[in-house]
Structure 1
Amino acid sequence: MGEAIAAYLHYLSIFGLFALLSIEHVMFRAELDIAQARRLIVTDLAYGICAGLVLLTGLIRVIWYGKGWHYYLSNSVFHTKVGLFILVGLLSVYPTYVYLNWRNTLQAGQPPIITRRQAFMITLTIRLELLLLLIIPLLATLMARGFGVMGS
C-alpha cells in the first residue's frame, strides 16, 4: 500500500509541477500590472514547492519502494533523468530571481519594469523547462523497462 501511495504522490506532484509551469508561461507578459505580478510570484513559489515534492517523493520511491539503490546507481537513464531534473531546477532560478527583484517595486505600488531581454529570456527559459519536463517521463518509462542498466 505504501508503494502505491508513494507512486501516486510522486505522479501527482509531477502533474502539479507541469501545470504550474504551464500557468506561469500563460501568465507571464512583458507588461504586468501589480496584481498579475503578485500572482506570478505566488505561482512560481508553488512551482518551487512542487519541485521539492517531486524530489522528495522520488527519493522515497528510490530508497524504500524501488528496485534498490544498486539498480538506480548503475542505470545511465536514471542519471540522465535526474540530470535533466537538476537542469530544469537550475533554469528556473533565472525567472525566480527576476520575480524576486520586483518586491521593492511592488511594495511601492508600481508594476514591475520588464526589459525586452528579460521578457525574451524568461519566456525562452520557461519553454525550455517545459520541453525538458516532457522528456523526463519518457526516460522513466525506458528505465522501468530495463534500459540503461550498465554492464548488461
Structure 2
Amino acid sequence: MRKLIILLSLVSAAYAWAPRPNPSRTSFQSSHSQLEELFDPVQFELPEINGDVAPPRPEAAIILASSVPIIFTPETASAAVAFASTAVPSALAAYGHYVALLGMLGCTMAERLTIKPNMTPEEEDFVAGAHIGLGVFGALIAYTGYLRAMVYEKGFDFYAHEPIFWLKVALVGVYGAASFFNTTVIIKRAVAKRNGDFKPMGEKLSKRMIQICNAELVAIATIPLIATVMARGVGYSEEFPWQAEAALAAVVFLGLSFKYLKEAFVFEDV
C-alpha cells in the first residue's frame, strides 16, 4: 500500500508539471515521447519547444508539496492515515473527560459552599441536586477515562506498565470511597424529609461533610497533575508487575468504601 501511494504521488507530480498543449503550435501536438524527453522531474527544469518555455500548471506546486512527505517519510504518512480514523472519537473522549472534571469540580464546590449547620429544606435540596450532578459527572469521567486508557491514546499495554497510572487509579478510588459518606447522609436525610422526620443538620455532621468536600477538592486538584506525569511515561517499566498494583488499588477502594459507608450509617449528629 505504501509503495502504491508513493508511485501515485510521483505520477501525479510528473503529470502536473507537464506543459500545456497549445492548439496554435503544431510542435505541441508532437508525440508524447518528445515531452517526456524534455521534462526532467528531478531537476524541475521547464521544457523548451521552438525556443519558447512552456508554462507549468499552477497546481503543480501544491501536488508536489503534498507528495514530499509521502516520498521521504512514508512511515509518518502511514501513521497519519491510520490515526485519522480515530482522531475525532479520541478528541471527543478527551473533551468529555475535561468537561466531566470541571463538572465534578463545580458540583463539589457547590456542596462545600452550601453545607452548614441548620440548613433550610431548600438548601438541603440544593446540596442533594449538586450531589446528583456529581454522580452524573463521575460516571462520565469514568466512562471517558476508560475509553482513553483502553481504546484511544497510548492503549492499555502502555498504561499497565506505568506505576503512576495505578497510583492515579488508587487516588480515584479514594475519592469515590470518600464521597460515599456524603452520598449516604444525603440519601438518609432525603428519606427522613419525605417521611416527615426532618431535623436541621447539626454542627458535627456538617463539619464532617465539609471535611469530605475539602478532601475531594484536593483530589480533583492532584489527580490531573498525576495524569499528566503518567501520560509522559515517567516510571514506565516493561517488568512492572501491574497485576499487583491493580489488586492494591482495588483493595484500597473496597476497604475505604466499607469504612465510609459504615461511618455514614452509624454517625450520630449530637
Q: Report the TM range for the smaller structure's normalisation.
A: over 0.9
Which residue does the alignment assign to 1:27?
Answer: 114
115, 126, 147: which is aligned to 1:39?
126
Letter in 2 for 1:138: L
TM-score by length of 1: 0.92
TM-score (norm 2): 0.53
The structure carrying a bigger helix percent of its residues is 1
2:166 maps to 79
Question: What's the secondary structure of 1:29's corresponding residue?
Answer: coil
Q: Deviations over 1:62-89 (max 9, x none)?
A: 1211212111111111101111111100
8 Å contact from structure 2 (residues 179, 212) kept in 1: yes
Q: Is the 8 A contact 1:28 1:40 kept in 2?
A: yes
Gaps of 5+ in 1: none
1:57 aligns with: 144
Structure 2 distance, partners of 1:59, 1:92, is 20
Question: What's the % identity of the aligned pairs?
Answer: 25
Match of 1:94 in 2: 181
Aligned with 1:127 (options 192, 214, 217): 214
Unaligned 5+ segments in structure 2 are: 1-87, 240-270
CA RMSD of aligned residues (A): 1.6
- Structure scoring higher RCO (CA < 8 A, sep ≥ 6) equals 1
1:139 Cα deviation from its structure 2 partner: 0.5
Contact 1:24-1:40 at 8 Å conserved across structures:
yes
Aligned counterpart in structure 2 of residue 67 of structure 1, from 146, 150, 154: 154
The one-letter code sitting in structure 2 at the alignment partner of 1:17 is: M
Rounded Cα–Cα distance in structure 2 between residues aligned with 1:77 and 1:99: 33
What secondary structure is seen at the aligned counterpart in 2 of 1:66?
Answer: coil
